[in-house]
């Protein structure tokens, strides 16, 4: 009976240790990196919009602007999805 209590206590400590290792990495490295990539995607999108307005009479420049806008939107969607997945995993780890 005593060994069962020790095993249960050991698994509780290992989960707490795993969460205490993962949480600082997520908050100090991964989250700022995702925010940086989100900002880059926003800049690409805004650059595409600017190209559309500045070079409105040139069809190839408009196409380039549209491509930048699409790439920016795809990047934003990917970063928001990554942030959601990381948030889900982080909450799952810290709740158990």
DSSP annotation of 26 reads I
Which residues constitute the domain of residue 29? 2-95
- Residue 95 or residue 69, greater confidence: 69
Specify the pTM: 0.68
How many domains does the chain fold into? 1
Paired tokens of 36: 């940086």
pLDDT digits over 29-65, tens only? 888 888 899 999 999 999 999 988 888 788 888 899 9
pLDDT band at 17 (very low <50, low <70, confident <90, very high): low
**pLDDT at site 13:** 54
Per-residue 3-state assignment (H helix, E strand, C coil) for 36-84 = HHHHHHHHHHHHHHHHHHHCCCCHHHHHHHHHHHHHHHHHHHHHHHHHH
Q: How many CA atoms lie within 13 A of 76 on its CB side?
A: 13
């Amino acid at each position: 009976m005593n060994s069962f209590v020790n095993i249960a206590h050991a698994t509780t400590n290992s989960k707490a240790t795993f969460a205490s290792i993962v949480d600082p990495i997520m908050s100090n490295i991964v989250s700022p990196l995702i925010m940086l990539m989100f900002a880059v995607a926003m800049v690409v999108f805004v650059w595409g919009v600017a190209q559309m307005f500045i070079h409105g009479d040139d069809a190839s420049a408009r196409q380039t602007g549209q491509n930048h806008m699409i790439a920016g939107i795809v990047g934003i969607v990917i970063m928001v999805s990554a942030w959601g997945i990381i948030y889900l995993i982080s909450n799952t780890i810290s709740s158990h």
